[in-house]
Amino acid sequence: MDYDFQRKNMVDCQLKPNKVVDEKIIEAFLNVPREIFVNKNKISQSYIDDTLNLNKNRYLINPMIIAKMIQALNIKENHTILTLGSGIGYTSIILSHLCNTVIGIESIKSFYDFSSDILAQLDVNNVVIIKEKIENGYPDQQPYDSIIIEGGVNKVPLEILNQLSENGSLVAIEIDKNNIGKAVLYNNHKSGLIKNYLFDAYIPLFDGFKNKVLFEL
């Protein structure tokens, strides 16, 4: 199977038609081999326009959705980014092409082990994966220029929003009581947090975010 062709087709047919126009993001998606993150029994689905179940209610997010989420953050080369629920490491490695440092938080040991091995395999040296509960964020290294939550939440916990730097941004998919999802962007301005709706999207809820202190705008 020609994965290079499939990767280019993913960019040309999924990302660009959906207004992913940042050349650095496009280049990152062209250079990261998505197929090595997918179980062998699903490898033929690596580049489909869909979210793939990994196991344990965790997912490899639809390429178009994660690309648009990343683009919304307006990432700079000197940024430090936190990704929560980093899973098997695909998004973290995409981000490694765009910024200075990526800190991925993953609670499932098999995903932590897999992503650590992939980082070594691809010789990525600006990503650190840490095995911790994802619902707490990672206050030890705050503040962060950007935060991505790689799973659905009802609302973003205030504890995590407080880990943003001034002018930092957080992107997540919030799921309402009717199980409808929307990608949202929080910007942490000096005057306070501003929340903007980005686009309709759905990822199943992270169990760990239930019963957290939430922030409502």
User: In which band, very low, low, confident or very high, does the pLDDT at 210 lie, cut at 50, 70 and 90?
Assistant: low
Give yes or no for a contact between 109 and 172, defined as CB atoms under 8 angstroms apart: no
pLDDT tens profile 5-46: 999 999 999 999 999 999 999 999 999 999 999 888 889 888
Could you give the CA distance from residue 126 to residue 150 in angstroms, rounded to a whole number?
19
* pTM of structure: 0.94
Contacts of 72 (CB under 8 A, 6+ apart): 169, 171, 183, 185, 198
Average pLDDT, the chain: 93
What does each C-alpha distance from 5 to 18, 40, 45, 113 come to in angstroms?
19, 19, 14, 29
Domain 53-209 has CATH 2.40.30.10: no
| Amino acid letter, residue 3 | Y
Phi, psi dihedrals of residue 59, rounded to the nearest 5°: -140, 150
Tell me what pLDDT residue 212 has: 57
